Amino acid sequence: MTYAPLSLRLSGASNFRDLGRYPARGGRAMRPGRIYRSDHLAHLTPEDQARLQALGVTRTVDFRGLTERAALAYELPGVQQHALSIEPTVVQRAKALQDSGQELTPEHAAELMEQTYRDFVLHNSPRFAELFRLLLESDQPLVFHCTAGKDRTGFAAALILHALGVERPIVLHDYLLTNELYQRPTGLIGQGPEAVMRVIWRVQQSFLDAALDTVQQHHGGLTPYLQDVLGVGPSEVRQLESLYLL
């Protein structure tokens, strides 16, 4: 079975979509119009902003690092921004590899991306815990995003969907939709062979698997990770279900 993305097709954010309607726990479904994921919002047109206002969006969660956020800042009327910085590491690691005299290959790029995902679990869990705190605080429509809306955002989406009982194949489906939707802006294309850039600016199942395997190895699975590390235990799960499931 396939699930069409609830994409808004915004002019200034190609990877903006609704997590609603996915089948979830107990035969219920994700509630549309409450949780959105996206690439960055700095290039939204006035028409895009009007659409977000019509959706009732009042909160954004920005996972970008400090330099990323300063370079592509945004202000949306009536929208409160929550900066939960996760600094990017792929470019720095790629540069270090090249400085050591090694040629950067697509295989190297995939390894760097997988390490980035492991680091989400090992070093950035407090940011994802704060996202859940905001989701539990209110069901006011919220958009969470990073730069491309694929890695930091992709892992966050996987955590949310798992917490609400969405099955793994559908979580992976949502994750891989970035490869259909995201359009690389010229200003965000780094220096390097195109074969390498295609790895860095797309997603692969092995990336998400690297994070999920790390969760399994260090915490015994997603459910204990949610409870013991992110503060999303049984009572919080029930609250999330009441807020975000039909």
pLDDT at 188: 46
Name the helix (H) or strand (E) containing 37.
strand 35-38
- The catalytic residues are 146
The half-sphere exposure of 24 on its side-chain side, counting CA atoms within 13 A, is: 24
pLDDT at 239: 98
Per-residue pLDDT of the chain (246 residues; tens, 9 = 90+): 456 567 788 999 999 999 999 999 999 999 999 999 999 999 999 999 999 999 999 999 999 999 999 999 999 999 999 999 999 877 666 666 656 667 778 898 999 999 999 999 999 999 999 999 999 999 999 999 999 999 999 999 999 999 999 999 999 999 999 999 999 876 544 566 788 888 989 999 999 999 999 999 999 999 999 999 999 999 999 999 999 999
Sheet containing strand 142-145, edge to edge, reads 6-7, 17-18, 35-38, 142-145, 59-62, 80-83
pTM (two decimals): 0.93
pLDDT at 123: 96
- Please say whether the beta carbons of 99 and 183 come within 8 A: no
Pair of tokens at residue 20: 């609603």
Transcribe 151-179 into DSSP letters.
Answer: SHHHHHHHHHHHHTT--HHHHHHHHHTHH
